[in-house]
Structure 1
Amino acid sequence: MANTKNSNKKPKFSPYWIYAIILAVFFGIQIFSGGFGGQNGNETTPADFFSFLKDGDVKNVEIVNNREARVYLTTEASQKEIHKKTRPGGMFPSVGPVPNYRFEFGDLKLFQEEINKINQENNLNVPIAFKTESNAWGEFLISLLPFILIIGVWIFIMRRMSAGGSGGAGGQIFNIGKSKAKLFDEKTDTKTSFKDVAGLEGAKEEVQEIVDFLKFPEKYTSLGGKIPKGALLVGPPGTGKTLLAKAVAGEAKVPFFSLSGSDFVEMFVGVGASRVRDLFKQAKEKSPSIIFIDEIDAIGRARGKANFSGSNDERENTLNQLLTEMDGFGTNTNVIVLAATNRADVLDGALMRAGRFDRQIYVDLPDVRERKEIFEVHLRPLKKDDSLDIEFLAKQTPGFSGADIANVCNEAALIAARKGKKSVNKQDFLDAVDRIVGGLEKKNKIITPEEKRAVAFHEAGHATISWMLEHAAPLVKVTIVPRGRSLGAAWYLPEERLIVRPEQMLDEMCAALGGRAAEKVIFDKISTGALSDLEKVTKQARAMVTIYGLSDQVGNLTYYDSSGQSEYGFTKPYSEQTAELIDKEISAIIEEQYQRAIKILEANKDKLTQLAEVLLEKEVIFKDNLEKIFGKRKFEKAETLQIDSESPALSAADEEE
């Protein structure tokens, strides 16, 4: 029986015979072109030939194709000791006379003249014969070589296709329908663990429970619990969603499949759905297992929205297959799906329902305590100064994500290395935040004295208003050194508020308009320098009216759609009369704060001028400079961070375009 089975087996394919044929062709070319065996004589040089000619050793010379000379020696000369080693021989017997030497020369006319000259000087008569040769066999074999290569590649492709056909979805050419997921298992060296994930305590607890369930399922199943089928990590970019997934891969002692949502997308129809099937097939074979899909919004967008051309049919088919695999007939509960996105509002409702993604884990921007933990993680590989205060750094980076903090640490190390320091100190980190938030300093930028004076008063206006108002963010640093696209910038250290009141928003708008108000008060002219300020206050005023319902005229209404799938389409969700009312209300709010800023600056015009002159002199001023001119801030809170001029705190910059 065993012999029968063996006799039915197909002989194993070996591609080496293709290479053997190609080598045989090259071998044949060499043989038929005279490349083996010395059948066309031994190599020499024109100088040696002329020496042999003068000695009378040459019987005749044959010139082939006007570029090669073949030398035949006399019978007496061939017996000389110097020529004995040049007797022709080879692998194959020769037909006809065989030259003793051969060589290539340059210009034919000069070569002939030199031979005639030696003949005359030495009273010789060595004849010269001309011959034209064509290697028919060599040319024939060379012409066959491209066809042999094409046939070899075709056979190789066909063998690959037939080999892939036994793998189900891999039967398509080059296995295009197979999943591109990268497999991590207990044997894979995955070094990331939950210890490397700073902050994110709530999110870590959620995903850690999934890992714990896979390790100790009886702990939960004994009480009748079921493992969640999926968990969706949602949050702004850079907050650590993918890092959490890497930690799961490092902690879980089960197979972990990782891929991106775009890995399913292909130009060929049906490939995405095929890859989904193959992915879940592999995961079920290795269950219990975890599948992680990064940027799932690439395939998980809501179906049927703005489908004018039918171009998203392939993506919808991929999504349909994913929905079926996650919760449909024949699904396996031992496969858990983790996914990450920063655009949960565009995902399909069927994908978000319980039974597919049972949990939505929101990964938010870190607070000051979590930023301190993140700094501790990213400072480990750095050679930092012993006096570095990590809590100070955490307070100087409000609104920074984990990725931003990693960038700050790396930039600080680069700045310290650029300055030739042995360690990274606090000033390097502050310079790094400066660089990231405001851009690179451009001290050599050409700016006229008049423009520089206008920028100085503009920035001094921001500083004055923010110092005078209770709810404006405390000023930290003002500079008129150009950075990035801005001619000047003001840094603030805003409070980390969970709720914002109208008076706080209005004070911030007034401070933002302080630059343009200062230009009006001092020069009685305004400029284009307030572009970013106007953009900022316009967005704030529109949000007050249309989103937060903080307008007396419009009332307690909001036109914000948190799902991102407004039923109104391209039409506005309010009438034309309401649109006019909204426009008037936004304009009134901005104009009111602008006039308020002008009144404050007119009342403090002498201090504004004094501050601008200091700024023109030093180019960079800090909090203590404002205290000398304005006195201590009336609204200073006890918990507000105190900053001196040697170590300024840096946060978000207010840029002047």
Structure 2
Amino acid sequence: MAEDKKSPKENKGKKPDSKKPKFSPYWIYGSIFLIFIAIQLSGGSNWTQPKKTTQAEFETYLKDGDVEKVEIVNKKVAQVYLTPEALTEEKHVKNKNKGFMAQAGDPTYQFEFGDLQNFENNFQEIKQENNLDTNIVWQTESNIWSEVIIGFLPFIVIIAIWIFIMRRMSGGGGGGAGGQIFNIGKSKAKLFDEKIDVKTSFKDVAGLEGAKEEVQEIVDFLKNPEKYTSLGGKIPKGALLVGPPGTGKTLLARAVAGEAKVPFYSLSGSDFVEMFVGVGASRVRDLFKQAKEKSPAIIFIDEIDAIGRARGKSNFSGSNDERENTLNQLLTEMDGFGTGTNVIVIAATNRADVLDKALMRAGRFDRQIYVDLPDVRERKEIFEVHLRPLKKEEGLDTDFLSKQTPGFSGADIANVCNEAALIAARQEKKAVGKQDFLDAVDRIVGGLEKKNKIITPAEKEAIAFHEAGHATVSWMLEHAAPLVKVTIVPRGQSLGAAWYLPEERLIVRPEQMLDEMCATLGGRAAEKVIFNKISTGALSDLEKVTKQARAMVTIYGLNEKVGNLTYYDSSGQNEYNFSKPYSEKTAELIDKEISNLIETQYQRAIELLENHKDKLTELANVLLDKEVIFKDNLQTIFGKRPFSKEEEEDKKTIAE
């Protein structure tokens, strides 16, 4: 990714990022509330508390006639009030309450006594002996606020827990839209600033020339609308990016965000989905409301199939479907009654076949841009983009790398470059070289090598002949893919692997498919020819040829007995049908023809290997010795391939 350099002025105007929590007035309110509760629960301030004494000292003061009265508070605490004459005495002056909130009639001493009856008996006895007129006053004190707070405390706790759960379910967070329970219907779209948030431009999008041109035109619509509206044209409402995963749909949208000088809202289709009824439609309304207020603007919805699936197809419950309500609101906002603002919607999906027809019609998504897998020229451009940050060896041939990775998407190529850098670093190299990229391709296609896997000699021999059978048959057939490398070192879930570079074809003829099926069955055929036994090692081969044969018969109409028919439904509605689109008799015919195709190619592979059994054995022995062989080893054993073509052709593909 190319990064934009910011000018000093922009950096000066930008506020420094601070990780400190933001100040909130609720902190002050909360602090005051907590202090108030503490004061109330503690029964008042300690500033006005009388001096504590003991019961023995109190009885001494009582005998001396210094006590005017005694207040018994809540049958636990005795507060002592002295006579005016006693207050002037030196021994009591120093104990007089001089607090900030002290008053003239406050008690001077207080103490806690044990048994109330004993205290009262002692008091009466001293009073009679000394002929005193001191009285006992009974008082009950209560803290109203503490009782109220304690009474409401369970309800406060329940409400706090409820608000916490609602916040978590509605997206968490404190201040953002949707983070609070009352903002649950707000849009979760993120507004991007092309100067700060997005640094991707169209220069970072390699290949995809057609798709890039279409998207660039949409950006130009928003920048210079008069250029098109002056001729009577209208700005398109939406563009749908369709293609396999990893081909660069989201990257194109990020480039639009970086290039467009208009507000860019980005979110995923799943952001509309919520457990509450009506939330999805509310978020759609709020999203378009925000975009209209800042129009012209662009809205990007990634993985739109999360809410855009065809209505009424999978709703077996019969109840009101929240997803359908969200889709209905989206349809209305995109092209409903009274819409005329300059808001363009860009969406991306790899499941265009399941989208609702109303969403796909002109006036909503006016343009459907197909983002296909890159060809050899586009792969070279993608490599050049992802090789920029790498420390690579001088003279690294990107043409060679693009030919070794056909069928790879842009995300796969990025993964290859990253994996190559990791492999080079693991080997403590100073730069990433050609072999590192080849090892990275092997790692991604075949999986991680498992050299420590325990394999018996008999199993290793069977694997060697199996892989040698693939190599031998593919070498002898005209339309089979030429071999690049064969290994019997376990990788991933496979015990052995073979790499080929067949041509990239836009159309495939029956003889080409049959040769590929024959080469795929060469492994099991070699086991049959050499050991006269077969094993479970051909599972992936059988799965591949079965799919190919079924496609020839039921999809492409390449079988004479079934005829020029196809049972393929591009609309995807067959997923919801419980019956087959053909009769039982036709089903029997299809099964028979699929079996005939596979068995014919299997016998053909056996015949080829019987004729070259000695060379097959020699190749397997070399493979057992070296564990990895290349095309040069096959040329040494078999001679030049009868149907060889130029190795430098632009269109080649890789397969396992």
Cα distance 1:23–1:582, how it changes in 2: closer, same or farther (>3 A)?
Answer: same
- Structure 2 equivalent of residue 18 of structure 1: 30
Asked if 1:454 is matched to 2:477, the reply is no
Give the structure-2-normalised TM-score.
Answer: 0.77
Please state how far the C-alpha of 1:189 moved relative to its aligned partner: 3.2
CA distance in 2, matches of 1:33, 1:172: 38
CA distance in 2, matches of 1:34, 1:527: 90
- Structure 2 equivalent of residue 293 of structure 1: 301
Please state how far the C-alpha of 1:188 moved relative to its aligned partner: 3.8
Asked if 1:651 is matched to 2:624, the reply is no
1:270-323 deviation line (CA, Å, top 9, x unaligned): 111111111111111000111111111111111111321135611111111111
Cα distance 1:468–1:33, how it changes in 2: closer, same or farther (>3 A)?
Answer: farther
Tell me the SS of whatever aligns to 2:374: coil
Tell me the SS of whatever aligns to 2:573: coil
Cα distance 1:187–1:386, how it changes in 2: closer, same or farther (>3 A)?
Answer: closer
Asked if 1:487 is matched to 2:499, the reply is no
Please state how far the C-alpha of 1:568 moved relative to its aligned partner: 8.0
1:133-184 deviation line (CA, Å, top 9, x unaligned): xx99899799579469649959999xx9xxxxxxxx9899330101101112
1:196-237 deviation line (CA, Å, top 9, x unaligned): 100000000001000001101111111111111111000000
- Which has the higher mean CA deviation after the structures are superposed, 178-187 or 395-404? 178-187
- Structure 1 equivalent of residue 617 of structure 2: 609
- Structure 1 equivalent of residue 453 of structure 2: 445
**Do the aligned residues in 2 keep the contact of 1:476 with 1:493 (CA within 8 Å)?**
yes
CA distance in 1, matches of 2:589, 2:417: 48
Aligned counterparts, 1:495-506, within 5 A: 495-506=503-514
- Structure 2 equivalent of residue 74 of structure 1: none
Aligned counterparts, 1:332-343, within 5 A: 332-343=340-351
**Do the aligned residues in 1 keep the contact of 2:246 with 2:412 (CA within 8 Å)?**
yes
- Structure 1 equivalent of residue 220 of structure 2: 212
Please state how far the C-alpha of 1:640 moved relative to its aligned partner: 4.6
CA distance in 1, matches of 2:306, 2:319: 14
Gap runs ≥5 in structure 2: 1-23, 54-96, 112-140, 168-176
Task: Give, as a single letter, the amino acid of the residue that structure 1 aligns with 2:446.
Answer: G
**Do the aligned residues in 1 keep the contact of 2:52 with 2:110 (CA within 8 Å)?**
no
Aligned counterparts, 1:216-295, within 5 A: 216-295=224-303
Asked if 1:302 is matched to 2:301, the reply is no
Aligned counterparts, 1:632-647, within 5 A: 632-640=640-648
**Do the aligned residues in 1 keep the contact of 2:237 with 2:343 (CA within 8 Å)?**
yes
1:551-578 deviation line (CA, Å, top 9, x unaligned): 0111111111111123981211111111
CA distance in 2, matches of 1:508, 1:312: 50
- Which has the higher mean CA deviation after the structures are superposed, 584-593 or 379-388? 379-388
**Do the aligned residues in 1 keep the contact of 2:237 with 2:365 (CA within 8 Å)?**
yes
Cα distance 1:650–1:562, how it changes in 2: closer, same or farther (>3 A)?
Answer: closer
- Structure 2 equivalent of residue 164 of structure 1: none
Across the two proteins, how many residue pairs are aligned to each other? Answer: 545
Cα distance 1:308–1:152, how it changes in 2: closer, same or farther (>3 A)?
Answer: closer
- Structure 2 equivalent of residue 550 of structure 1: 558
Tell me the SS of whatever aligns to 1:410: helix
Cα distance 1:558–1:32, how it changes in 2: closer, same or farther (>3 A)?
Answer: same
CA distance in 2, matches of 1:155, 1:617: 70
Tell me the SS of whatever aligns to 1:553: coil
Cα distance 1:640–1:28, how it changes in 2: closer, same or farther (>3 A)?
Answer: same
Asked if 1:512 is matched to 2:520, the reply is yes
CA distance in 2, matches of 1:179, 1:36: 56
CA distance in 2, matches of 1:24, 1:299: 51
CA distance in 1, matches of 2:192, 2:531: 66
Asked if 1:406 is matched to 2:414, the reply is yes
Task: Give, as a single letter, the amino acid of the residue that structure 1 aligns with 2:35.
Answer: L
Cα distance 1:387–1:582, how it changes in 2: closer, same or farther (>3 A)?
Answer: same
**Do the aligned residues in 1 keep the contact of 2:504 with 2:653 (CA within 8 Å)?**
no
Give the structure-1-normalised TM-score.
Answer: 0.77
Aligned counterparts, 1:97-246, within 5 A: 146=153, 150=157, 153=160, 173-246=181-254
**Do the aligned residues in 2 keep the contact of 1:467 with 1:633 (CA within 8 Å)?**
yes
**Do the aligned residues in 2 keep the contact of 1:227 with 1:333 (CA within 8 Å)?**
no
The one of 591, 594, 599 equivalent to 2:607 is 599
Asked if 1:521 is matched to 2:529, the reply is yes
Cα distance 1:651–1:14, how it changes in 2: closer, same or farther (>3 A)?
Answer: same
**Do the aligned residues in 1 keep the contact of 2:50 with 2:110 (CA within 8 Å)?**
no
**Do the aligned residues in 2 keep the contact of 1:29 with 1:141 (CA within 8 Å)?**
no
Cα distance 1:92–1:454, how it changes in 2: closer, same or farther (>3 A)?
Answer: farther
Asked if 1:630 is matched to 2:633, the reply is no
CA distance in 1, matches of 2:52, 2:613: 103
Task: Give, as a single letter, the amino acid of the residue that structure 2 aligns with 1:651.
Answer: I
Aligned counterparts, 1:340-419, within 5 A: 340-419=348-427
